[in-house]
Amino acid sequence: MFQLTQAQIDQFNEDGFLIVEKLISDEAVETLRACYDRLFRGEFETGVTPDEVNWQEGTGDPSLTRQICNGWKADRDIADIVLREDFAKAIAELGNWPGTRIMIDNVIWKPPGTRSLGHHQDSAYLDWFNPSDLLSCWIGMDDTSAEGGTIEFVRGSHKWNHSPPEGEFHGPEEYRKYMERAAAREGVKPEIVYVEVPKGGGSFHHGWTWHGSGHNKATYPRRSLVLHAMRSDTEYVPDHLADGTGPIYSRYKRLADNIIDENFFPVLWRNDGYRTPGIETYLKR
């Protein structure tokens, strides 16, 4: 079970991210690698298609990073990790939240030679729910390095003024361009920190922390799994359902109210001991 120390929480609050050497076992990494092969071939174990499929074998641009969103709905090997209660508790502690629910996951695969992912702030795309707090857990399926295009954070950038979404996410040549503009507006020189950890290691980051990743110039892939989490007390904001990623995830809005349905955004941990009851049933093979 993963547990945070107070020193780690303090560091996260100061830097806007926290790097951790080990989050999942080597055995779990091997299981997930096989799952990635299935997902990007279009094989969905549960019979449910993920919410976003941005790359598939045979049709995807080989120069782009492969990405699937909400792989947990398509394959229970992904769900075993992103629905973990201990990760959710850690996220709630970092965010000082009453509880945590999954917003989406990202299944990401950067083969050698693939292009960058543009620097961005996750929360800039999330006006469609409130409170719009976001916190993410990033896990590497391979040993990571700057040369291999690992995720990179800008230290302290969660304290900068918020910027609107700008630029291309998949494969921009100047992948730090909009972050550097934001830094100039703040009057600071951005401090880049690379997440360089063994496989199974990773990081947590704040929704307003600037981050992205460069070209994979290494001879090995960079696969990662990301849990993007929101507060357990979040609700839809009807006036902003067309903003950011709202058009995709507003499809799950209920007719009569703004409650976010736990069938699609389950509560993973809450400080009163609650966890969406259907999770354990779903995880059974």
pLDDT tens-digit series, residues 95-108 = 999 999 999 999 99
Residue range 66-74: mean pLDDT, rounded:
97
Tokens of 258: 């703004």
The answer to whether 221 and 109 are in contact (CB under 8 A) is yes
Return d(Cα 67, Cα 33) in angstroms, integer. Answer: 14
**Tokens at 245, concatenated:** 């990623």
Q: What pLDDT digit, counting tens, does each position of 170-223 carry?
A: 888 899 999 999 999 999 999 999 999 999 999 999 999 999 999 999 999 999
Which pLDDT score is estimated for 165?
Answer: 84
Task: Sketch out the chain's domains with CATH numbers.
Answer: 6-283 (2.60.120.620)
Q: pTM (2 decimals)?
A: 0.95
Is residue 86 packed enough to be buried (19+ CB in 10 Å), middle (13-18) or exposed (0-12)? middle
Q: List the one residue out of 214, 225, 205 whose CA is nearest residue 20.
A: 205
pLDDT, tens only, 52-63: 999 999 999 998
pLDDT in tens, 8-17: 999 999 999 9
- In this structure, of 33-42, 54-63, 70-79, the range with the lowest mean pLDDT score is 54-63
Give the C-alpha distances (Å, rounded to integers) separating 186 from 18, 102, 118, 183, 190: 23, 32, 19, 5, 10
pLDDT, residue 173, reads: 85
Q: What is the band of 244 on the pLDDT scale with cuts at 50, 70, 90? A: confident
Grade residue 167 by pLDDT with cuts at 50, 70 and 90.
Answer: confident
Bridge partners for 192 per DSSP: 154
| Model pLDDT, residue 171 | 82
**Residue entry with tokens 């009057």:** 187
Q: Hey, which residues does 100 pair with through a beta bridge?
A: 231, 269
Q: Which two tokens stand for residue 32?
A: 């997930």
Long-range contacts of 253-260 (CB under 8 A, 24+ apart): 259/235, 260/101, 260/129, 260/234, 260/235, 260/236
Where are any strands of DSSP class E within 45-187?
52-53, 66-69, 99-110, 117-120, 129-130, 135-140, 151-154
Report residue 127 as tokens.
């006006």
What is the rounded average pLDDT for all residues in the chain?
96
Confidence category of residue 245, pLDDT binned at 50, 70, 90: confident
- Residue 6 clears pLDDT 90, i.e. is over it: yes
